[in-house]
Structure 1
Amino acid sequence: MSENNQLRDVFHAIADPTRRRLIRLLAEAEEIPLHELTAQFPMGRTAVSKHLTILREAGLVLDRRVGRETRFRLNASPLREIEDWLAIYNKFWGTNLLRLNQLLEEE
């Protein structure tokens, strides 16, 4: 997978509020079984599994089988790409807000 496709996949993966909530839940725990994740949402196990598949395909989630259950954990390293992308806009807004502040002080 090329870098651009991987970047697009990560952005797609975090675009959905359910997937962002899954990422937050996984960030707060070392590892969570599927049934515990499903209990956090007003949807069925299949729907949660589909969201986890999208996160896994983007490299954001790792899973492992323990007996009959699947446990999930966060792999946050792909989020660095988003952080790098946002850094450009942080500089942009920082510069523009500084200019706005200077204009307001001159008035």
Structure 2
Amino acid sequence: MGKWGPRRKKVTGPCFTGNCNQKIGYFPSNCVTELDTNEKPVRVKCQIELNEDNNKVFLVPEQIVFKVSDDLRGNAIIRVGKAKLSCPNKYLKDM
């Protein structure tokens, strides 16, 4: 995983424990999610509202979302929580 990705993970109650680069970190478990192998974190450039299949999602600047893939129209398929939506690539930047 990347520089900050956990090498070992353990969820105990309301906290997540991770070990990376010989450091142990504790985070609220509702603020941490596991990435699939095909996902990468990206930042949102500006405020945007996305609507798809009755899923209405508001994204704010500097919010981190997970890019799953690209579609044929130049959009990215992103994951926000449990929802997967299409978002124009021009609103996203790599981290």
TM-score, normalized by length of structure 1?
0.22
Structure with more helix by fraction: 1
Structure with more strand by fraction: 2
Tell me: higher relative CO, structure 1 or 2? Use CA pairs within 8 A at least 6 residues apart: 1
